[in-house]
Amino acid sequence: MQNITIAIHGGAGTITPASMTPELEKAYKQALSHALDQGYQVLEKGGSALDAVEMAVVLLEDSPLFNAGRGSVFTKEGKHEMDAAIMCGKTLEAGAVAGVRNIRNPVRLTRAIMEHSDHVFLSGYGAEEFARKYNIDFAPEEYFYDKRRYQQWREVRDTDIFMLDHTDERKFGTVGAVARDANGDLAAATSTGGMTNKNYNRIGDSPLIGSGTYANNKTCAISCTGHGEFFIRAVVAYDISCLMEYKGYTLQEACEEVVMDKLVKFGGEGGLIAVDGNGKLALPFNSEGMYRAYRRGGQEGRVSIYKD
Ligand code: ASP
């Protein structure tokens, strides 16, 4: 299984050993490890990169630890609105949703849109109607309730603050996965609840093809996490792909330029995971930490949180 590769993330931000308990750190590492291994097994059995990224993201959406699916943060109205996207590097087909509510696994809905719709991007009620048609699971409001997230929101709900800097901690708990399968095909998927206390109907970078999510066999597959408004304006994922396609940069060079230089100057905090056509990986971030993990063919998986 030469060059099969998968990487996942569970968000970036002010994640330091001081802000973590040993129990919480263990729980994060276990959840990341589990999603990584399940995604890897898909690739090991000869499955597609698309199936692998979908599998890994579903498992991260099911964990209340991450800001996606079950653990999605609260909007200004005290609700959960989720954004997600998936993209196939071989065909450049993509599916995306914005502002969906009560969908258990938004990434499954993006896959259904990619495969069964002539459209790429559905939002709100139309996306939910589409989900009903394709038997995508819904979950009641209580399923998305998490005490920790609720408290985070209560502290800022009467303000215009729409991130977690009220505690001096900025954490962006979006989840994502990128993979290269045994055929050399690439795929990327990202899923998020957005940012705590975000304006209702606010859409972040995660579902925007080219900003938070992108895959192209010619270059790379990318899933981002960070302050979405900056990632949208910097068109981060496509920018990296373009540097590779038009300027001949390696994945590493392109990531370095965009995440560690351009975004930093711009004020955009966060990071991303990326894999190129040869299965080479880059996991750059300009924040304190990023929940991340990767595994290559024939090797053990590696899970990290802080700067190496
Ligand atoms: N990028 C996401 C957004 O702005 C947040 C995150 O990465 O956690 O919606």
Query: H/E/C letters for each residue in the chain?
Result: CCCCEEEEEEEEECCCHHHCCHHHHHHHHHHHHHHHHHHHHHHHCCCCHHHHHHHHHHHHHHCCCCCCHHHCCCCCCCCCCEEEEEEECCCCCEEEEEEECCECCHHHHHHHHHHHCCCCEEEHHHHHHHHHHCCCCECCHHHHCCHHHHHHHHHHCCCCCCCCHHHCCCEECCEEEEEECCCCCEEEEEEECCCCCCCCCCCCCCCCECCCEEECCCCEEEEEEECHHHHHHCCHHHHHHHHHHHHCCCHHHHHHHHHHHHHHHHCCCEEEEEEECCCCEECCECCCEEEEEEEECCCCCEEEEECC
d(CA 264, CA 260): 6
- How remote is the CA of residue 298 from the centroid of ligand 1, in Å? 32
Q: Is residue 122 part of a domain?
A: yes
* CATH number of the domain that residue 94 is part of: 3.60.20.30
Give the residue whose CA is nearest to atom 4 of ligand 1. 228
The mean-pLDDT minimum among 49-53, 133-137, 185-189, 304-308 falls in: 304-308
What per-residue confidence (pLDDT) applies to 170?
58
Of the residues 15, 152, 174, which should be mutated to test ligand 1's pocket, given the most ligand atoms within 8 Å of the CB? 174
pLDDT of residue 162: 61
pLDDT tens-digit readout, 47-102? 999 999 999 999 999 999 999 999 988 887 788 899 999 999 999 999 999 999 99
Q: What is the pLDDT of residues 247-264, one digit of tens each?
A: 999 999 999 999 999 999
Q: Which of 128, 137, 7, 143 is CA-nearest to residue 63?
A: 143
Dump pLDDT digits (tens) for 21-57. Answer: 999 999 999 999 999 999 999 999 999 999 999 999 9
Distance between Cα 45 and ligand 1 center (Å): 32
Instruction: Tell me what the mean pLDDT of segment 131-143 comes to.
Output: 96
Asked if the model's pLDDT at residue 13 lies above 90, the reply is no
pLDDT value at position 195?
Answer: 82
Query: Dihedral sign, CA of 90, 187, 208, 218?
Result: negative
> The domain containing residue 86 runs over which residues?
5-287
Nearest to 53 by CA among 95, 81, 103: 95
Give domain status of residue 231, yes or no. Answer: yes
Where in the sequence numbering do the catalytic residues fall? 174
Q: How far is the CA of 235 from the centre of ligand 1 (A)?
A: 14
Q: How far is residue 304's CA from residue 286's CA, in Å, rounded to a whole number?
A: 15
Q: Which atom of ligand 1 is nearest to the CA of 227?
A: 4
Atom of ligand 1 nearest to the CA of 228: 4
- Probe target for ligand 1 pocket from 227, 263, 286, with the most ligand atoms within 8 Å of CB: 227
Does some domain include residue 299? no
Percent of the chain whose pLDDT exceeds 90:
79
What's the mean pLDDT when you consider all of the chain? 92
Query: In this predicted model, which residue has the larger pLDDT, 227 or 171?
Result: 227
Cα 91 to ligand 1 centroid, rounded to whole Å: 26
Ligand 1 pocket residues where CB is under 6 Å: 11, 67, 172-174, 192, 194-195, 204-206, 212, 225-226, 228
CA distance 34 to 30: 6
Using the predicted structure, report yes or no on whether residue 169 has a pLDDT greater than 60.
Answer: no
Q: Tell me if 296 is assigned to some domain.
A: no
Give me the number of domains the chain comprises: 1
Task: Report yes or no on 149 lying in a domain.
Answer: yes
For 245, phi then psi, to 5°, come to: -70, -45
Cα(57)–Cα(69) distance, integer angstroms:
9
Answer whether 73's CB lies under 8 Å from 28's CB.
no
Percent of the chain with pLDDT over 70: 95
In a domain, 294, yes or no: no
Does a structural domain hold residue 106?
Answer: yes
Question: Is position 112 within any domain?
Answer: yes
Q: Against a cut of 0.75, is the pTM above it?
A: yes
The pLDDT, as a whole number, for residue 151 is 78
